[in-house]
């Protein structure tokens, strides 16, 4: 069991640029989640996939954010026209439908200059 | 909307002291409850969870938590902390009619002095 992996671990970008993050869930986990965590806060839910279907989206997920899980395995989270307020740790988690316990990856820390 | 409160933002204890971290949630329906821990430089790890049954649940590393439905609480306890328990602790709730999202508290940063 290799755990949830995320790439890159750190990303520094300039305001206005687009960024894309990748998450590889635990194999055979059909549910995948994205969260955002800012300093001193707990993670906040962004979106959720069951297989390739995006079933839930938070109001936090503005139209600059888009997430995909095209083949029901890995997922990507893209932020267009980044703003300084997007600076945060972006966490991915996965679970099975049976246990519904979410296991988290190491996160991607985004810094927008 | 559901919310989760962790009242203690920072806790400092000496080794061997007992620990209790508070967690209250604001949802009246059926809930699944979790405690996650984040050690320095590491990612969130599951400490324990409650879905149903015995309201006193035991987790890894000697931690336990008690679900008190009447108080909407799920406090985390450990009888004797170690320096290695220094970490940030997050309570999280999944309300059964709120999809599959977890709602997290703001976290409690625990420092254990050797």
CA–chain centroid gap for A91, Å, is 5
User: SS3 of A107, please?
Assistant: coil
pLDDT digits (tens, 9 = 90+) for B8-24: 899 999 999 999 999 99
3-state secondary structure of B48: strand
Could you read off the pLDDT of A68-90 as tens digits, one per residue? Answer: 999 889 999 999 999 999 999 99
Asked if pLDDT for residue B98 goes beyond 70, the answer is: no
- Band of the pLDDT at B97, cuts 50, 70, 90? low
SS percent in chain A: helix, strand, coil, step 5: 5, 50, 50
Q: In what order do the strands lie in the sheet with A65-68?
A: A5-7, A19-24, A75-79, A65-68
**Cα nearest neighbour of A33 on chain B:** B101
Q: Shortest CB distance from A45 goes to which of B43, B90, B102? A: B102
Alpha-carbon distance A20 to A100, whole Å?
27
Nearest to A56 among B44, B101, B105 (CB): B101
A42 in contact with B at a CB cutoff of 8 Å?
yes
For testing contact with chain B, the best of A1, A31, A38, A42 (most B CBs within 10 A): A42
Question: B100 and A91: CB-CB below 8 Å?
Answer: no
Q: pLDDT-derived band of residue B104, with 50, 70 and 90 as boundaries?
A: very high
Spatial distance between the Cα atoms of B93 and B3, rounded to a whole number of angstroms: 8
In this predicted structure, the answer to whether residue A99 has a pLDDT above a threshold of 90 is no
- Between A60 and B99, the more confident residue is A60
- Inter-residue contact A102 to A30 (CB < 8 Å): no
List the single residue in A40, A48, A104 with the smallest CB-CB distance to B44: A104
CB B90 within 8 A of CB B112: no
Residues A81 and B101: their CA atoms lie apart, in Å, by 26
Question: B83: helix, coil or strand?
Answer: helix
């Amino acid at each position: 069991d290799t755990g949830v992996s995320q790439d890159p671990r750190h990303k520094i970008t300039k305001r206005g640029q687009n960024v894309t993050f990748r998450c590889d869930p635990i194999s055979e986990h059909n549910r995948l989640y994205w969260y955002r965590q800012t300093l001193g806060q707990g993670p906040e839910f962004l979106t959720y996939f069951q297989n390739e279907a995006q079933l839930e989206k938070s109001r936090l997920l503005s139209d600059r954010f888009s997430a995909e899980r095209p083949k029901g395995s890995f997922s990507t989270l893209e932020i267009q026209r980044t703003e300084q307020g997007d600076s945060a740790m972006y966490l991915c988690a996965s679970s099975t439908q049976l246990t519904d316990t979410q296991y988290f990856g190491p996160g991607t820390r985004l810094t927008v200059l | 909307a559901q919310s989760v409160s962790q009242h203690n933002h920072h806790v400092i204890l000496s080794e061997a002291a007992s620990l209790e971290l508070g967690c209250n949630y604001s949802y009246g329906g059926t809930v699944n409850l979790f405690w996650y821990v984040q050690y320095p430089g590491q990612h969130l790890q599951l400490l324990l969870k409650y879905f149903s049954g015995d309201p006193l649940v035991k987790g890894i590393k000697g931690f336990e938590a008690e679900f008190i439905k009447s108080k909407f609480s799920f406090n985390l306890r450990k009888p004797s902390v170690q320096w290695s328990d220094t970490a940030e602790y997050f309570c999280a709730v999944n309300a059964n009619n709120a999809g599959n999202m977890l709602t997290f508290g703001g976290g409690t940063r625990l420092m254990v002095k050797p």
